Amino acid sequence: MPPRTFAALALLPLLAACGGSGTAAVKSASAAPPPARTAVRAPVRKPVAAPHVQVVPGLEGVIGATPAELTRQFGAPRLDVWEGDARKLQFSGTACVLDVYLYPPATGSEPTATYVDARRASDGQDVDRVACASALKRLRGAATAKQG
């Protein structure tokens, strides 16, 4: 028997296994029932737990501020990150990086600053939050004065 014939005969059992029962069961696409409809409701907003608000003397103008108020104090944020209904604004200068975390005080309300963290821009080491906020405000004031 030539090698081609032998190879073809060797494949016959494999092909037969793929054939099924021998009776064709073909359904037209129109015969299939339409998919069930599912009602979609608007997402339910879960009640927001009152966030823990950081209390640090010297940050009274920052804690409780809205994003617009923070932008007026520090300029445009370098980073603006949303995670669910929470938000993080990051402001930076040569002296430091200030991360301001905002959470809504009540369901459906605008997030306000509840926590502030500060670090050196050069190596990420923690720095005084009040000193960092003050340095960034001075930097903003100097930039505004140059423009005006």
pLDDT in tens, 67-94: 999 999 999 999 999 998 899 999 999 9
What's the mean pLDDT when you consider all of the chain? Answer: 79
- Indicate whether 112 pLDDT > 90: yes
Class of domain 67-140: alpha beta
Virtual CA dihedral for 91, 92, 96, 101, nearest 10 degrees?
A: 20
Give percent of the chain above pLDDT 90.
49
Q: How far is CA 120 from the centre of its chain?
A: 25
Pick from 112, 114, 96: nearest CA to 104: 112
Pick from 135, 143, 62: nearest CA to 96: 135
SS3 assignment, position 113: strand
pLDDT of residue 29: 45
